[in-house]
Chain A
Amino acid sequence: MDLKLGHYTKDGIEVVDVEGEIDVYTAPRLRELLIDLVNKNNYQLVVNMEKVEFLDSTGLGVLVGGLKRVRAHDGSLDLVCTQERILKIFRITGLTKVFGIHDTVDLAIAARKSEK
């Protein structure tokens, strides 16, 4: 399956819905979207990965790149993911310590709001 991307604003936070496979072929599209959102002054991001079927190190690089961009503006990039197959790659690479990973979009937003 190819990559489908969408985004909407909820409680002042930009939520990015990602569906499909994030790999060396599709990751550039996600990178462009994240860069575009940051360029439009969206610095609080939640990436919903509940419908992501595959994620490789290229995709991880894009997410880390997005995190670095929003942090440059004192922003945040949290993830929503409960799929074990996806969480495993975050654990292997130690990135569970870098990203806030939540069970639902609402919980991710609530966690971000509580830190403000």
Chain B
Amino acid sequence: MATVEVAFTPLPAHVRTARLVATAVARRSGVEESLLDEVRLAVGEACSRAVEAHRRHCPAEPIRIELSDLGEKFEVIVRDAVPGPAGSSANGKTNATQDNGVSFPAGFGLAVISGLADDVRISATGTGVSVRMTWPAQVAAEALPRQVKAFNGGN
């Protein structure tokens, strides 16, 4: 089970909330302060992409985020519920963000993510697309005393 799970309706206003939660959990999971901006931006990009896909294809379905403290890694998975061609916009060949004739391919946000996260994996399944991102983390300081205590207790 993820450390924190969030589900939100696909509205642009909620992307900021997702960014804030992800940053807070990353900090608590031991991600360096200097990397928190990257977590914030990458999670925002992944959520923006998912919101766009949901609004076109399934506006009633929530977007799900899993934030996991894996010890030496912090992992974020953003899952949408748009299978098929829309979901495969992750490859940048379909949908586009339009702005007065300027088109950023839908994969543009993902390209930004790949420049930010330590490791990025994008997978499209029959149920939707997931963007998995990880960053290095230190074992949270508060977890150490508990481990030491447990060790001592064992003796």
Binding site for B on A (CB under 8 A): 21, 23-25, 31, 35, 54, 56-58, 60-62, 64-66, 68-69, 85, 88-89, 92-93
Contacts and interface: CB of A to CB of B under 8 A. Distances in A.
Which 8 residue pairs spanning A and B have beta carbons closest together?
A65-B99, A25-B12, A92-B115, A65-B100, A24-B48, A24-B12, A61-B99, A65-B102
Interface residues of B, number: 25
A57 B100 contact: no
Interface string B74-107: 0000000000000000000000010111101000
Given A57-B108, A64-B99, A64-B102, A21 B16 contact: yes
Given A56-B41, A57-B108, A23 B16 contact: yes
B112 A57 contact: yes
A93 B48 CA distance: 17
Question: In terms of DSSP, what is the predominant structure of the interface of chain A?
Answer: helix
B64 interface: no
A92 B12 contact: no
Contact of B12 (A23, A64, A93): A23
Given A24-B12, A24-B48, A54-B40, A93 B99 contact: no
